[in-house]
């Protein structure tokens, strides 16, 4: 993609708070990787594994950290956080699109809904009774908002988002296509060989500046609300079950499944494909490696990993056989320890 206008390196440095070295009037109209960037584009180095590519790049400028400030002769921006600097420059070059206020004639809107004049309602949208939509909110084509839903100012719903009754979305939050907010949690009571459905009467409350990726689902609470606090970022295809609470500024990668009544603290980082059993407490500042299975609460910040890396099939089968024999070896080891202790006492 090419930006709609070019910016000088000086302008871009001001956007991210970085220091310019070299020609500050270098014009930039795009961003690329170290390998793919060309003239008129800026690139960035955030991983030392790619430092060798710095000398081969065809970019017009580069974003570097303080330790690499002299690693390139190109015009450059030096920042304490090159990755965040890149993100802010990308926002300047490719700003979020502006929707045209108004309501498409094909939208179906309940008479009691309240829609701000600056909001944008796309085609084939359905808006239920008592819905409140804030200033500058965008509701994309085919979205469905149940009764009593509230969207804060600047909320952006991409096409085909579904929000069930009573749920609230905080200001400036972004929900991508296929997101479902407030579907029933998986609540069933066993009875005489069958199951009795438990009505899910809680809501989903989503704070400000949250982003939720495509086809992610957040279930409503069984009794109390499911809560996603401000600044949380959720990737695609995540399942968050009923009564969970995700602390502010936590990020969760794709295909993670979080069982009911789990509470995750603030500023956590959850890798892709993680599984969490229900009713856990995860404290602030925890990082969980991808594909880990979390079965117990975590009370101390740090990095936690439980997955087994892949290995040749035959090796895995041998390992599995040894794991199955582990209880027997534990018994033998305990018996041996008891024998040794007896000898010491004699």
Domain boundaries, given as residue ranges, for the chain: 7-93, 102-304, 314-346
- Write down the pLDDT at residue 180: 98
Quote the pTM value.
0.91
- Write down the pLDDT at residue 343: 87
User: Active-site residue numbers?
Assistant: 242
**pLDDT tens figures, 55-104:** 999 999 999 999 999 999 999 999 999 999 999 999 999 998 888 999 99
CATH of span 102-304: 2.160.10.10
- Write down the pLDDT at residue 97: 84
**pLDDT tens figures, 252-280:** 999 999 999 999 999 999 999 999 999 99
Q: What is the C-alpha separation between 302 and 96, in angstroms, rounded? A: 35
In the structure, what pLDDT confidence band is assigned to residue 307 with cuts at 50, 70 and 90?
confident
Non-local (6+) Cβ contacts of 17 within 8 A are: 79, 85
Average pLDDT over the chain, rounded to an integer: 96
Strands (E), 10-97: 19-21, 27-28, 30-31, 41-44, 61-64, 76-78
In the structure, what pLDDT confidence band is assigned to residue 7 with cuts at 50, 70 and 90?
very high
Q: What is the C-alpha separation between 207 and 23, in angstroms, rounded? A: 42
Instruction: Answer yes or no: CATH 3.40.1390.10 is held by domain 7-93.
Output: yes
For 50, how many CA atoms within 13 A lie in the half-sphere containing its CB? Answer: 12
**pLDDT tens figures, 106-139:** 999 999 999 999 999 999 999 999 999 999 999 9
- Write down the pLDDT at residue 263: 98
Residue 164 structure tokens: 């069930």
Strands (E), 176-314: 180-183, 188-191, 194-197, 204-206, 211-212, 217-219, 226-228, 233-234, 239-240, 245-246, 251-252, 257-258, 263-264, 269-270, 275-276, 281-282, 286-288, 293-294, 302-304
């Amino acid at each position: 993609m090419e930006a709609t206008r070019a910016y000088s390196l000086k302008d871009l440095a001001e956007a991210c708070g970085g220091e310019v070295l070299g020609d500050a009037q270098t014009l930039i109209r795009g961003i690329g990787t170290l390998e793919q960037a060309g003239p008129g584009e800026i690139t960035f180095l955030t991983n030392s594994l790619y430092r060798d590519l710095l000398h081969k790049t065809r970019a017009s400028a580069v974003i570097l950290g303080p330790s690499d400030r002299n690693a390139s002769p190109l015009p450059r921006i030096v920042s304490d956080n090159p990755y965040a600097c890149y993100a802010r420059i990308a926002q300047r070059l490719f700003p979020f699109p502006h929707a045209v206020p108004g309501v498409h004639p094909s939208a179906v809107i309940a008479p009691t809904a309240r829609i701000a004049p600056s909001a944008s309602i796309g085609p084939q949208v359905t808006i239920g009774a008592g819905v409140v939509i804030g200033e500058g909110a965008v509701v994309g084509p085919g979205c469905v908002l149940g009764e009593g839903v509230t969207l804060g100012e600047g909320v952006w719903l991409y096409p085909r988002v579904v929000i069930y009754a009573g749920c609230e979305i905080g200001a400036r939050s972004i929900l991508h296509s296929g997101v479902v907010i407030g579907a029933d949690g998986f609540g069933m009571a066993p009875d005489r060989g069958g199951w009795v459905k438990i009505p899910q009467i809680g809501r989903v409350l989503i704070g400000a500046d949250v982003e939720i990726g495509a086809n992610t689902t957040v279930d409503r609470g069984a009794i109390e609300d499911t809560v996603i606090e401000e600044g949380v970022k959720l990737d695609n295809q995540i399942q968050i079950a009923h009564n969970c609470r995700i602390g502010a500024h936590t990020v969760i990668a794709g295909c993670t499944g979080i069982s009911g009544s789990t509470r995750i603290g603030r500023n956590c980082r959850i890798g892709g494909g993680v599984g969490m059993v229900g009713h856990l407490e995860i404290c602030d500042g925890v990082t969980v490696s991808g594909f880990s299975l979390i079965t117990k609460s975590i009370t101390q910040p740090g990095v936690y990993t439980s997955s087994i890396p892949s290995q040749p099939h035959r090796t895995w089968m041998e390992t599995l056989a040894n794991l199955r024999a582990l209880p027997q070896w534990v018994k033998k080891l305990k018996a041996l320890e008891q024998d040794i202790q007896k000898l010491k006492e004699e």
